[in-house]
Amino acid sequence: MDYTYGQSNDYPLRIVVPSDSVGAIIG
């Protein structure tokens, strides 16, 4: 689970859902 990777690569996705959820989705 790379939180930084989630922010950088899936920035649009991070806007749609909470950052915590993005980390869970990616991880």
The structure tokens listed for 22 are 């993005």
- How far is C-alpha 26 from the chain's CA centre? 6
What does the pLDDT look like over 1-27, one tens digit per residue?
Answer: 555 555 555 666 555 666 676 666 665
pLDDT at position 19, please? 64
- How far is C-alpha 5 from the chain's CA centre? 7
* Whether the model pTM is above 0.85: no
pLDDT at position 25, please? 64
User: Distance (Å, rounded) from C-alpha 6 to C-alpha 17?
Assistant: 12
pLDDT at position 12, please? 60
- How far is C-alpha 10 from the chain's CA centre? 6
